[in-house]
Structure 1
Amino acid sequence: MKQIRKLTGLAMISVLMSCNTNSKTIALNEETTKTETVTMTTKSDEIVNVALVYLKDGQEAKFEEYKKRGGALLEKYGGKIERIIKPKMLAKGDIELPDEIHFASYPSIEVFNQFNEDKDFQNIRNEYAMPAIKDISIFTSKNTDFKFNRETGDKTKTYGVALVYFKEGKKYEQQFAEYHDDACKIIPEFGAHFERFIAPFQAKGTLAKPNEIHRFYFDSPEGMQQMGTDKRMQALFPKRDESLSNLIFILGEAIQ
């Protein structure tokens, strides 16, 4: 198992929020493989697949070929590999640091299913991905109606990926939403930007399905550290921590 480095002294998980949110509860599309209740409404038919990938030693080149061939085929279906994060540090949680985190988008659940049933994709996966992957956890997700200014970063930014697990009970969902509202008045000062705010509805692999997955970036490492040590944010952390049963927070760089 590779060495896991923990972020200390920065309280970096302050970034786990969105702006102008309203918690709602709905059932997901009946066409999905699981029908569950989540604490937000869906925003569109778009599907976002999130994969935490662990590679076998020496199989990086084979996996690169899988990404190239699989990504080209995905584009024919109107989808794309929209972001790949190379993890550098585990800021919060207790997991082995993945080699890569993939975010792939699909126009709809129907396209998602068609792509995964495509014989050419299955051949590409079997020839290039399966021999290269040691372990993988996959979360199939929907967009939400949480209102935030979605922005797009680049490879120069420091990225964060957060898997958020609420404690059971409506009061904890509401508590986290209140934390969101208060924190959103502060974080823009430090150059934090959200790219994705999604709700998983099914999971494969050993890692449990989170309630939410956030992907965001910072304009600079300095701004990231300043936000983590800001006294206003530190005063909000207890409300956040009391509402969560688990939090996995990974920092890294964008390689796509």
Structure 2
Amino acid sequence: MKTMIKQVGVAFICFLMISCKTSTTQELEQANTNVQTVDPMIVKNEEIVNVALVYLKEGEEARFEEYKQKGGTILEKYGGKIERIIAPKMLAKGEIALPDEIHFATYPSIEVFNKFNEDPEFIKIRNEYAMPAIKDISIFTSKNTNFKFERETGDHTKTYGVALIYFKEGERYVKQFEEYHDDVCKIMPEFGTHFERFIAPFQSKGSVEMPDEIHRFYFDSMDGLQQMGTDERMQALFPKRDEALQNLYFFIGEASL
């Protein structure tokens, strides 16, 4: 993976422009009181995707692995699952500390999501394994967007991209990005880019500001991405993209699940 990243070059970084301090447990809990939310009734009976940027304390990887196994077992009892775990290897856009892991967990509904988080057994496991292992965490509870696309599913052998997207204020910029995105999505599959998730957070917890959208996709090859970054059609669309966005964090990494 590291060799592949070195081969990416400036053209790849140009393309990707599309789409920490140590804390005690008490400090972590205090940081996590920074909550942004909207009425969860807007997603009643809809699938929920929870996204977490996880920063681990040094030497606590094994404890956190045990948390994932034990917590995942309980999650499955509620009809949910850990859908994807990505270990970022580089930040292609933005200024933010690189998380150790990015988690995507799915739930049948917001009601199930809330019941799971109130489960006494899960709370016990979280307090015993997760809290001592985590240095910092930001969580975005999300719903599916109305963007229509052919969803494909990769595997742990693929290279993944995760984009946290922040629009400039004003409906015109949202519409402009949608138009840009419709155009690039017609081009990107030609170069082996596949789309897994397009979701919109409606509540968040932690120090990272809640994005307007989160996109996840995977790549067949880095060579294909380099070629796409220099494609004339893509180059012509970049100014439209840049004008619409206030901020963008773009992570590239490997999937462990």
Q: Report the alpha carbon displacement of residue 58 of structure 1 after superposing the two structures with TM.
A: 0.3
The amino acid of 2:121's aligned partner reads: D
- Superposed structure 1 runs of 4+ greater than 4 Å apart: 5-8, 41-44
Contact 1:15/1:192 (<8 A) preserved: no
Going from structure 1 to structure 2, the CA distance change for 1:43 and 1:151 (only over 3 Å counts) comes to: farther
CA contact (8 A) 1:14 1:228 kept: no
Q: List per-residue Cα deviations over 1:101-153 (Å, max 9, x = no partner).
A: 00000000000000000000000000000000000000000012210000000
Query: What stretches of structure 2 of length at least 5 have no aligned partner?
Result: 20-35
Partner of 1:54: 55
* Offset at residue 155 of structure 1 (A): 1.3
- How far apart in 1 are the matches of 2:204 and 2:85? 19
Query: Where does 1:208-227 land on structure 2 (aligned, <5 Å)?
Result: 208-227=209-228
The alignment status of 1:119 with 2:140, answered yes or no, reads no
Tell me which amino acid in the other structure corresponds to 1:35.
Answer: D
SS for the counterpart of 2:55 is: strand
C-alpha distance in structure 1 between counterparts of 2:237 and 2:43, whole Å:
28
Partner of 1:197: 198
Letter of the 2:229 counterpart: G
Residue 12, structure 1, aligned to residue 15, structure 2:
yes
| Pairing partner for 1:34 from 24, 35, 38 | 38
- Given residue 103 of structure 2, which amino acid in structure 1 is its aligned partner? H
Counterpart contact for 2:156–2:254, Cα < 8 Å: yes
Counterpart residue identity of residue 218, structure 1: F
Question: Which residue number in structure 2 is paired with residue 231 of structure 1?
Answer: 232
% identity of equivalent residues: 73
**CA distance in 2 between partners of 1:33 and 1:91 (Å):** 28
CA separation in 2, counterparts of 1:181 and 1:120?
A: 44
Instruction: Map Cα deviations across residues 163-193 of structure 1 (whole Å, 9 max, x no partner).
Output: 0000000110111111112212211110111
CA deviation map 1:198-221 (0-9, x unaligned): 000001000000000000001111
Q: CA deviation at 1:56?
A: 0.2
Q: How does 1:145-184 map to 2 (within 5 A)?
A: 145-184=146-185
Distance 1:44 1:185, change over 3 A: farther
CA drift of 1:70 comes to 0.2
Residues 116 and 44 from structure 1, CA distance in 2 versus in 1: closer, same or farther, beyond 3 angstroms?
closer
| TM-score, normalisation: structure 1 | 0.87
Partner AA of 1:73 in structure 2? I
* CA shift in 2, pair 1:170/1:142, >3 Å: same
Matched residues in 2 for 1:175 and 1:189: separation? 23
Measured in 2, the distance between the counterparts of 1:236 and 1:134 equals 39
Q: What does residue 253 of structure 2 align with?
A: 252
Code of the residue aligned with 2:232 in structure 1: it is K
Three-state SS of the structure 1 residue aligned to 2:46 is strand
- In structure 2, the residue matched to 1:70 is 71
Q: How many angstroms apart in 1 are the aligned matches of 2:124 and 2:204?
A: 23
What SS class does the counterpart of residue 233 from structure 1 fall into?
helix
Under a length normalisation based on structure 2, what TM-score does the superposition of the two structures give?
A: 0.86
Displacement of 1:33 after TM fit? 5.6
Deviation of 1:12 (Å): 2.9
Check if 1:186 corresponds to 2:184.
Answer: no
1:26 alignment counterpart: none
User: Across the two proteins, how many residue pairs are aligned to each other?
Assistant: 233
Displacement, 1:42?
A: 6.9
Distance 1:212 1:226 in 2: 26
145 and 157 in structure 1: CA distance in 2 versus 1, 3 angstrom threshold: same
Q: Determine whether 1:107 maps to 2:90.
A: no
Q: Residues 153 and 44 (structure 1 numbering): CA distance in 2 closer, same or farther, change over 3 Å?
A: farther
Q: Which amino acid aligns with 2:38?
A: K
Would the alpha carbon gap of residues 51 and 117 (structure 1) be closer, same or farther in structure 2, given more than 3 Å must change?
Answer: same
- Structure 2 counterpart SS, 1:161: strand
AA of the residue aligned to 1:34: V
